[in-house]
Amino acid sequence: MKKFSIPYLAPFGAFLVFTYAAQWIPYGVYLAYPLKTVIVGGMLFFYRRSYPEIKLKCSWIAPLVGIIAFVVWVVPDGWYPKIGSSAFNPYIFGNDWIAFVLIVFRLIGAVIVVPIMEELFWRSFALRWLIREDFTTVPIGAFTWFSGMAVVLGFGFEHHEWLVGLLVGILYNGLLYSKKNLSDCIIAHAVTNLLLGIYVLATHTWTFW
């Protein structure tokens, strides 16, 4: 693995380490999420010059794909078995400032950090690396059946909600193939997670968090 892969692998790897390590500590998820939001966000900022594919523009269809992905994510809930379980209830310690802080970190992580981190890893690095090891020579949005299906499967089974994860992975991949712009995927992903966060807070369906 060449050194120019590190900016893509390190933030994603750090996020996974915090996520799975938290499961072994009582209430670890509530400590880990603010920590990984700050640390992974800091790593993305540190490596920001390594991501020329992130551009300050996106198409009008990106938010629409994000809305569709949100609907796809919530509608089938309860219709299929999930992989493991998770729940992030910010009110577990009461309704005071702790809940407010946890909600703020969760939204920042879900709407800003996670979309950038995951799209860089899955649809910039992995999708191109599976075509050619020197992935920086592969154009953004290059298509092969193998890389496309592998990324959809990886993205899908990364989530407890594996079935909708697969479907949303197809949506995000399709957006990338269509627009050849990673920023479209980041915006779509951010819109999905923002709507999901609003839905969770409104309905207290904490298992989506």
pLDDT digits (tens, 9 = 90+) for 23-79: 888 888 999 999 999 999 999 999 999 999 999 999 999 999 999 999 999 999 989
Q: Report DSSP letters for 99-157, one per residue.
A: HHHHHHHHHHIIIIIHHHHHHIIIIIIIHHHTT-SSGGGSPTT---HHHHHHHHHHHHH
- pTM of the model as a whole: 0.95
Q: What's the DSSP call for residue 68?
A: H
Q: What is the pLDDT of residues 57-66, one digit of tens each?
A: 999 999 999 9
Across the range 180-195, mean pLDDT stands at: 98
Residue-range domain boundaries for the chain: 3-208
Instruction: State in Å, rounded, how far the first CA of the chain is from the last one.
Output: 33
- 145-156: b (≥16 Cβ within 10 Å) or e: eebbeebbebbb
- Quote the CA–CA distance of 195 and 166 in Å, as a whole number: 19
Q: What is the pLDDT of residues 105-116, one digit of tens each?
A: 999 999 999 999
- Quote the CA–CA distance of 118 and 188 in Å, as a whole number: 12
**pLDDT band at residue 94 using 50, 70 and 90 as cut-offs:** confident
